Amino acid sequence: MKFLPDQVVARLQTEMQTPDLSGTRYRPLKFLAHGGMGTVWLVQDSILNRLVALKILAAENSSANLAARLMQEAVVLAGLEHPGIVPVHDAGTLPDGRTFYCMKYVEGQTLDQYVSQLALRQRLLLFQRIAEPLAFAHSRGIIHRDLKPTNIMVGAFGEVLIMDWGLAKVMGTTGLSSEGKEVSGHVMGAIGLSSIAKHASRHEFTRAVQDPLKSGALVPENTLATTAHGTILGTPGYMAPEQERGDVTLIDQRTDVFALGSILHYLSREQSGVPNQRASRPLQAICNKSMAWEMSARYPSVQELATNVGKYLDDMPVSAYRENIFERTARLVSRNRVAVVLVLAYLFMRLLFILFPRR
Amino acid sequence: MSNKIVLGLVLGGILGILDGLTAWFTPEVRKDMMSIVFSSMLKGLLAGVLIGVFARKVNSLTLGIVFGLSVGLLLAFLVARFAVHDHYFAIMLPGAMVGLIVGYATQKYGVSSQLQRA
């Protein structure tokens, strides 16, 4: 048997995946990314003459259920109008029958690429900006559930955008399974590329572990309209314990607080040129509190976490860490550095006058 | 946090008193301690009010420091000018330092009255 070269196979796969955009306002330009259920393409909007990104359901995943999920993701994203959340411009069905939605094309770097040359202070300021759109989404009852550095983009002008809301959970909606039964008797819903059935195989889960970027690959075609109890969604390392257990009934904004804490931990340790540098105790305490095993021990909201990071940046005491008298003094001196130097200079001058009086 | 004028007054007054008390270490003026401490405190209070008012009007750390330094130097010069003994350096340098510290502090820490009202 003769095998085709890898390059040829890759070319054929790309051709197969290339969406049929004939008769639409979009012209395909470049393949951007591959997810579990679909692909993202850079296209030209011929009417408005601008570049946009199209998220298109993969040909092999084009079941009605998954199409509905992608559409639901678009609807939820469209409802989240915030500078830190990618806006959706359009949604529909392509001539080849595949569902798509059109969103802003974000030029920039993922968080892990962007922060490699930043100092800790800049990283923490950036972290605070990551928390803003997330807090906004939480206020609208949306839990992201897949926060990680690769899902956060920093644009060309420093704007921060949270991407990939495919695993997002909508709070406060009653979820019904495809069989018409309420899922686990709780009020919740899952959207977009989000759900995998409780019967998702271990093999599929391992795929997500090996390639967290493609965690959407966990989504089998026969998934439910909501996330079933026992479902494991997310990216290892950034997943909260309740997510790892598949305990979807417990998932709320504190689940995102955990992921955000993991990102904070990542940002505070992986500094440029100083790998695995130990974070200061208050910052470590903030990370630990955010990533507490028990949900009740975490920050109740993203705002509170961001506020604590802000206090840390301002050399103020943080609620997660009880400092001793020496640390408190050091922090106060550090916070009022110039004033302390001025007073010391004054006292030193006075001492000189006393020790060396003019005759 | 107190308002900028009050902060300037308190800081200027305290530093002025401290300034005056150090005259104790100059034996030839020790007999005039009371008047020195009092006038030094007045000088500090005046400098504090002026610098505090400036800080309330102008929100700039650099300008605040420059203004504080200038006021401190000017007032200290006037005191030194009318002093019986020739102590320009011993009076003007601490005076300038006091002005600088009050200028910095009123810009950095005091709350402007507009903000307080808000």
B93 touching A, CB under 8 A? yes
DSSP-derived pairing of the beta strands A169-176 and A160-162: unpaired
- Under 8 Å between Cβ of A260 and A131: yes
The distance in angstroms from the start CA to the end CA of chain A is 107
Interface test with B, best of A336, A337, A338, A352 (most B CBs within 10 A): A338
Task: Give the model's pLDDT for residue B28.
Answer: 78
What Å distances lie between residue A205 and A45, A144, A215, CA to CA? 37, 19, 8
pTM over 0.95: no
**Confidence class of residue B116 from pLDDT cuts 50, 70 and 90?**
low
Task: Give the model's pLDDT for residue A245.
Answer: 84
Nearest CA-CA partner of B95 in B111, B115, B113, B77:
B77
In what order do the strands lie in the sheet containing A182-190? A142-143, A169-176, A182-190
Which position has the higher pLDDT, A177 or B112? B112
Residues A82-135: tens digit of each pLDDT: 999 999 999 998 888 889 999 999 888 999 889 888 888 999 999 999 999 999
Task: Give the model's pLDDT for residue A146.
Answer: 87
DSSP-derived pairing of the beta strands A169-176 and A142-143: antiparallel
Task: Give the model's pLDDT for residue B118.
Answer: 54
Task: Give the model's pLDDT for residue A352.
Answer: 86
What SS3 string covers A275-310?
CCCCCCHHHHHHHHHHCCCCHHHCCCCHHHHHHHHH
User: Quick check: B101 and A343 CB within 8 A?
Assistant: yes
Task: Give the model's pLDDT for residue A117.
Answer: 81
Residues B81-110: tens digit of each pLDDT: 876 666 788 888 888 999 999 999 999 887
User: Quick check: A350 and B104 CB within 8 A?
Assistant: no
Q: Which ranges of chain A have pLDDT less than 70?
A: 1-2, 17, 35-36, 60-62, 172-235, 270-278, 358-359
* Helix or strand (DSSP H, E) at B36: helix B33-57
Distance from CA of A158 to the nearest CA of B (A): 27
Distance from CA of A284 to the nearest CA of B (A): 29
Mean pLDDT of B38-55: 92
Nearest CA-CA partner of A69 in A91, A47, A44, A94:
A91
Q: A190-203: string of b/e by CB count within 10 Å (b at 16+)? A: bbbbbbbbbebeee
DSSP-derived pairing of the beta strands A88-93 and A99-104: antiparallel
User: Quick check: A350 and B22 CB within 8 A?
Assistant: yes
Task: Give the model's pLDDT for residue A277.
Answer: 60
User: How does DSSP assign A65-85, residue by residue?
Assistant: HHHHHHHHHHHHHHH---TTB
Nearest CA in chain A to B106: A339
C-alpha A246, offset from chain centre: 19
Q: Which of residues 310-349 of A touch B (CB under 8 A)?
A: 338-339, 342-343, 345-346, 349
User: Quick check: A358 and B98 CB within 8 A?
Assistant: no
Distance from CA of B23 to the nearest CA of A (A): 9
